[in-house]
Each structure stands twice: as structure tokens, then as C-alpha cells.
Structure 1
Amino acid sequence: MKDRAMKLVDGDKGIIAGLGIPFGGPFKGKDFDGEFFDKGTDFALDWFPEDGRPVLYDHGLDGAVKMSVIGRQISHSVDPDVGIWMEAQINKAHRYAAAVLEMAEGGEVGFSSGSVRHLIEVDDSGKILRWPWVEESLTPSPSNPYAIVTADAVKHFEALGLDPPDALLGAIKVWEETENEISHRVREPDRFQDGSFKRITLKEGKPRVFAVIGKLKGETPTTIQSLRFPKDDTWSMAKAKQWVADHPDAAKTTTEQHLTYEEQATEAEHALASVKAFVGRSRSLAGL
């Protein structure tokens, strides 16, 4: 099997290659957002000639590079089991070409595809049915991370006199560790209403799991912002990451879903008891 990571194929010509659109994902077949591509996804491949798609840096979100086109896709091929492989050529005359190619050579950026928001279709399972592929970006934090994001990437931006993009810093800080607990960020805190945060118990039995919940701006239901793993309950970073991988549905979105696993089991028992009581009464009445 080919290596999924992006590679610098020809430094003199600025050609890079790798898996542009992975099928499936590293989190039980899905990406960070709980979505996934597969061989049935409509990528509208006929919209562009073979070498037409622009290559951006971080989807144009970087404050310095912005929407400047740093290169072009020059080829692609579809592997129904893996995804869409592609080659791109970076414009070596571009102001940031040298830094971008250095990051690509060091494995510190990956490919991330871009589409047109109002044309995207996703079903209830998270499968992306339609994703018109209109651009490809080099990004330190792709939604489908088959390459590891490392803090070392920051030094390349410092060398350019640029502030590292928030996407890079955010990806590095998805997991944080303090003296007392390990934290896993589910959603950015600045997306929430001021003063709406509170801490709840997600799993009561030791080792416990806590969650910080709040209300997203413009919305009423509470949503999990982060998961917290207390170290005095023997949580380590490795154990916490494994727990998150084993519980992909832990970060529920509505107030009603913010029950501990024990509370959910209790509610199920109460519901079963009610059904049994109803059946018993029905049988008694039938015997009269």
C-alpha cells in the first residue's frame, strides 16, 4: 500500500504528491467532524480539467498568505479502497513557496480538500454524498489526519516573521495536560455564549469522566465543549485518548443527552419496569 503522507517528489520543480482525499477516517472510519468520503461520493470530477484545481494554504484562512494561489493540481487518480491520490506543483515564484515546500518535505503539512458549502450533501451516518472538489489546500490540521501535526511546524512561520495560523495552534492544543487533569477539546471555546459554561459528570464510576458544556452562540441546547479526565482517577494521556476513540458518541449535542452512562442505564431500567407493570395490569384486567 502506498504511504498516505504527502511527499516532496521533485524539489526543483516544486512537485508534491499524496492522498488528496482519503476515504474513511482514523476515528472508527470517520474524520474529526464525524464524516467520511467513500467510493460512492460525487466529487464532480468533470468540473475541472486534470490540472485545473488551485492549491491554497490552509483554505485561504491564513492571515498572511490569504487566498493567494500557491500552486495547481497537476494529476489525480481514484483508488476505490483508499481515496483520491494527487500531484500538485507549487509555484516556485510565490513568496512563500520555499517555506511551504520545506514544511511539505518535513511532513508537517497534509492535503485537505475544499468544496462549495451549499452544494455539499451529507447523510445521517456522516457519509458525504456530494462534495464538488474545487480546491486543495496544504494545511497543518486536515479534518482527516493521517499525518501527525507537530509543534515543530511553528518554527517555519516564525522564520517568515508570521504568526502561526490559529488552525495550527488549535490542532496542537486539541489535547492538553495540566498537573491535575487531561483535557480534550471538542469545540472551540469562542464559539460559545459568554457565561454559559458549566461542568458536569459524564461518567460517575471511577475512573470518572467530566465534561464542560455550554450554549453555542445563537443556539439554545447545551453542547459539550471539552472532555476532562482527572489524573487522580489514574487517567493518563494514552488512556484518555483510547477512551475517546472507544466512545465516538460521547460528545452529545443536546441538553437531554447530557446524562451519565449510569443515568441512561437507570432510565432504561425504569422504562422497562413501567412496561412490565403495564403488562401486569393488563393481564389482571383481562382475568376479571
Structure 2
Amino acid sequence: MEGFVAVTDPSWYERLCRKPGPCDANFWRPSTRRFNLAPGTPFFFKLKAPHHAIAGFGFFVSFTVLPDWLAWDTFGDANGVDDLDALRARLQRIREGARIAADPLGQIGCCLIAEATFFSPETWVVPPDDWSPRTQTGATYSLDAGEGQRIWHECLGRVGLPARRTLPGVPERPRYGAPTLHRPRLGQGIFRVQVLDAYGRACAVTHEHSLPVLEAAHIRPYAKGGEHTVANGLALRTDLHRLFDRGYITVDDNHRLIVGKRLREDFANGRSYYALHGQPVETPVHPELRPAPVALAWHREHTFLG
């Protein structure tokens, strides 16, 4: 298995290390150029000069391109800055120094990192001894042997993974076992981005594409046992999201919108929404991303008012 050692700005680390972890983090890039890693790949944060250390790690989930305002709206200070103006100022400085043209739509590349954990300075990990100072963005290392294996084991040790016990006379086995791709637990921010991307950044009911009014709705709320997974989400326009959460609308097993009688009874209106009754609800192309039938059934039973 491979991991990726990413060159990290110390100020990004300093802002993120204040957050209790593990947490979602947006490892943004000033360019929108595609960045490909396998989901679940360990992602190590190696600080730039004057530091020379790995200050934490997380797990790569996906790469996406977002308008800078949406990156801030979704991840807030998990972008490693204090506010949107600070994000834009830092982007401008980096682009000027690297001679990178700004995207005309204000979009940036976003590496979505789950379960990001940061170490205190006294527990930073020594980076690979073959690290080249000319490396500008990062490098891939095998975690099965050599320096990659060392930093992987040391990072796992920082988060308290227990050593395996051995019996007397039995040769000691590798402390952490063979590396395997990890399916990280996602937070609210990554959930939102992945749901919107899965639905083509359009409302599943109205096909509205205006990002400021699109939201990721949990079918079964996280507080009531639902997960931050695309199969437990729907991309909905803001007003439909609120109606869905409050039980005035739901989705049947045939992926059609159901507008309940209670909307008319409670508000003596709802004319514009009843026109959507029976409307097909668009679902993602990939079957594993489509709404889970068990989640939809839960919503109809426990949230829908009828």
C-alpha cells in the first residue's frame, strides 16, 4: 500500500491543530488541476521550512473543485485559515509566487481529508531520510517497507495504536500488520461535498444548479443513527431540504417525491410544492451512491407526517 507525504504550510497546520481531532480537513490547492489518489490513502502533513517534520496525518477521501466561497462555507476554519478573506489572500500570494493563473470562476482544488489528526511539536515525526528539498507538492511512498513504513508506524504510534503482544519463544510479528486501505469516517463537510458531487451539483427534484441554494440532506439524521455517506443523502434545494427534514415531503421506493397532506393542513397553502408531487427524484449514476432503501423507509416511518 502507498501513502502520500504532502508539503504543508506551517500556518495551515497551526490553525488546524487547535481543533479537536480527528476531523475533516480541506487540503486546498491554488490550481484546479486534477489530483488522483486511491480513497483511503494515508495522507501525511510534512511542514515546509523552517520546520522539517511530519506534523500529522489523515486519510484521502476524494479530490474536487469548489468555488472558494463554497470551500469556506463548507469547511470553515478546517481550511486552515480564519475567514474567507484570509483564504483568498493566501491563494493570491501563492499564485503570485508560483505564477499560477487564478481560475476565472474563483475555483480551487480541494483534497478532502478525513480523520485528520495533528501532533504537538514535541511528537512530530522525522520525515523520510531520502526526502528531496526540491519537492514542491509531495511524494508517494510505499508503506510496506523502508522509510514509508517507518513514518506510517510512527504516526500510528502517535495516535495510540497498541502494539501486538507475542508469546514467549514466538517470533515477534510486525507491530501494526500489513497496511490496508482504510475506509475513513466522514464528517459533515465531506458528506456535503460528496453528496453534491454525486448529484451533479443539482437538486434531485427541481434540477436547480445554483450552488448557493443547494444543500446535502441526510435521509436518516446523523443524530438518530444515520451516517455521513452519500447513500444516506439527497441533494436538495434549501426549501425542499427544510420540508424534508420536517416531514412534509418524502421519497417512495420508486424514487418519486411524495408531498404530504399535512403541508396544506398546517399552512393552508403549499400550492407550488404539490405541483411536484409524484415528480421523479434523480439519483446518482453509480448504484452504490443511490439512496439506501432502508434509509428511505426509515424517513417515511419516523419523519414523514403523512
Q: Given the two structures, how large is their TM-score scaled by the length of structure 2?
A: 0.24
User: Which has more radius of gyration?
Assistant: 1
Q: Which structure shows the higher strand fraction?
A: 1
Q: Given the two structures, how large is their TM-score scaled by the length of structure 1?
A: 0.25
| Larger relative contact order (CA 8 Å, sep ≥ 6) | 2
